[in-house]
Amino acid sequence: MTTTTTSPVLTATGVTMRFGGLTAVQSVDLDVHPGEIVGLIGPNGAGKTTFFNCLTGLYVPTEGSVAYQGTVLPPKPHLVTQAGIARTFQNIRLFANMTVLENVLVGRHTRTREGLWSALLRGPGFKRAEAASKTRAMELLEFTGLADKADHLSRNLPYGEQRKLEIARALASDPGLLLLDEPTAGMNPQETRATEELVFAIRDLGTAVLVIEHDMRFIFNLCDRVAVLVQGQKLVEGTSEVVQSDERVIAAYLGTPFEGAPGAEEAAEVEAAEAGAAPRATGGAAQDEAQRGTTARTEDGQ
């Protein structure tokens, strides 16, 4: 892989998330480079979704920091999206009573500017921007194959199409990185195939993808790199082949009791096996950054 030579779109450094006594995510480092499709796998409750929530600002990580294209992100979801990271949800979270088209238009929110005044005055600028938004939204519906359902209520779509709509809605913010949380859950094999194609197409359009999935065939077909999360810690990271043949991964997935915490050295070994691991910020620095992010009052800024 030559992708490591470019600077990463996403740099997660020492991300830790504790809920009271439970450490759901523990010092996870992860880089995603432009043009990459990276997989994130792990048993149920491993902390994958929690890690996504930390990346997108839905949770404020207890420790660690998340940077997009080198800039540390404040843990505010709308600013994360504004910066260029979009996501879908494991348990579909569409705007159920809005139409398919409106859902995608909401996704355009960060890429349009029209405020209340221009909506009330309806100048030519407003009309142009609305028309442009609609065109772009229709393009995305075309891209995901939902164009003929634009006027349907999103809650009336079949399950598979709801997942697709989530992707279309996320793409509407023109993200540089797309986070997919189990995009094929509940899909039949054909739909899963189609989703695979869709993810490749998204990558080809220049959006890096980080995807959580339990469907191993899907993951190993798709991903340039796979990271394995077990009990909140990153166990292995590497190409499909490396991960597939790793005994601990097999153990974790077969359900064999996992003995002992995953050794830091072991994880480091695996990573060292890969050419050029991404540079890591020291723990202390990461913490400082995280704190600065939390205290910054960014709500009102646009």
Partner 1 sequence: MTTDKTQPTAVRKAGATAPRTTLLRALTAAGGAAAVVSTFLAWTWTAEFPGDLTFYGYPGGLQLLTLVLGIATAVFALAALDLKGLRWLTPSGSTQALRLLALGTFAVTWFTVIAIAVDLDGLVNLEPGGWIAAVVTAVPVATTFLLPDDSRPLCRPKELPSWAEILIIAAVFAVGLYVVNYGIQTDADHPEPFLGFLIAVGFAAVALAKAGLIGRISELTSTYRSVTLVAALITAIVFPFFQDKSSFTELGVNIAIFATVALGLNIVVGLAGLLDLGYVAFLGVGAYTAALVSGSTASTIDVKFPFWAAVITGGVVSLIFGVVIGAPTLRLRGDYLAIVTLGFGEIFRLAMLNLDGTSGPSVTNGPDGIPNIPPLEIFGFNFNDDHSVGGLTLDSNGNYYLLMLLVTVLVVLIFSRAGNSRIGRAWVAIREDETAATAMGINGFRVKLIAFALGATLAGVAGAVWAHFQSTVVPEQYVFAGPVPPNSTFLVAAVILGGMGTIGGPLLGATLLYLIPKKLEFLQDYQLLAFGIALILLMRFRPEGIVPNRRQQLEYHETGQLDVPGATGLKDSAVGVTKAEA
Ligand X SMILES: Nc1ncnc2c1ncn2[C@@H]1O[C@H](COP(=O)(O)OP(=O)(O)OP(=O)(O)O)[C@@H](O)[C@H]1O
Contacts of residue 33, defined as CB under 8 A and 6 or more positions apart, other chains included, come to 3, 4, 6, 7, 8, 9, 208
81 is a site residue for Mg ion (CB under 5 A): no
Interface with ligand X (CB under 6 A), residue from 19, 71, 159, 272: 19
48 is a site residue for ligand X (CB under 6 A): yes
Give φ, ψ of 236 to 5 degrees. -140, 150
Q: Provide the b/e sequence for 71-85 (b: ≥16 CB within 10 Å).
A: ebbbbbeebbbbbbb
Interface with partner 1 (CB under 8 A), residue from 33, 48, 87, 234: 87
58 is a site residue for Mg ion (CB under 5 A): no
Instruction: Give the integer Cα–Cα distance in Å for 149 and 118.
Output: 29
Nearer to ligand X, 140 or 211 (CB): 211
Interface with partner 1 (CB under 8 A), residue from 11, 16, 81, 184: 81
76 is a site residue for ligand X (CB under 6 A): no
Is there a contact between 9 and 33 (Cβ–Cβ < 8 Å)?
yes
49 is a site residue for ligand X (CB under 6 A): yes
Q: How many residues bind partner 1 (CB under 8 A)?
A: 46
Helix (H, G, I), strand (E, B) or coil at 300: coil
Instruction: Give the integer Cα–Cα distance in Å for 299 and 302.
Output: 8
258 is a site residue for partner 1 (CB under 8 A): no
Binding mask 281-300 for partner 1 (x = CB under 8 A): ------------------xx
Give the residues across from 15 on adjacent strands: 28
Instruction: Give the integer Cα–Cα distance in Å for 76 and 74.
Output: 6
Q: Which two tokens stand for residue 281?
A: 């910020």
Residues 82-111 close enough to bind ligand X by CB under 6 A = 90
46 is a site residue for ligand X (CB under 6 A): yes
Q: Which two tokens stand for residue 221?
A: 């077909």
Nearer to Mg ion, 43 or 283 (CB): 43
């913490």: which residue's tokens? 287
Instruction: Give the integer Cα–Cα distance in Å for 96 and 236.
Output: 38
Residues 128-157 close enough to bind partner 1 by CB under 8 A = 129-130, 133, 151-153, 155-156
Residues 226-245 close enough to bind Mg ion by CB under 5 A = none
90 is a site residue for Mg ion (CB under 5 A): yes
How many CB atoms are located within 10 Å of the residue 103 CB? 25
Stretch of 49-57, 117-125, 150-158, 226-234 lying at the interface with Mg ion (CB under 5 A): 49-57
Q: Using CB atoms within 10 A of its CB, is residue 49 exposed (0-12), middle (13-18) or buried (19+)?
A: buried
Instruction: Give the integer Cα–Cα distance in Å for 78 and 39.
Output: 24
49 is a site residue for Mg ion (CB under 5 A): yes
Q: How many residues bind Mg ion (CB under 5 A)?
A: 2
How many CB atoms are located within 10 Å of the residue 19 CB? 11
Nearer to partner 1, 6 or 112 (CB): 112
Q: Which does 174 bind (CB under 5 to 8 A by kind): partner 1, Mg ion, ligand X, none?
A: none
Q: Which does 188 bind (CB under 5 to 8 A by kind): ligand X, partner 1, Mg ion, none?
A: none
List residues near partner 1 by CB under 8 A.
56, 58, 76-78, 81-82, 86-87, 89, 93-99, 102, 105-110, 112, 114-116, 119-120, 122, 126, 129-130, 133, 151-153, 155-156, 169-170, 173, 299-300, 302
List residues near Mg ion by CB under 5 A.
49, 90
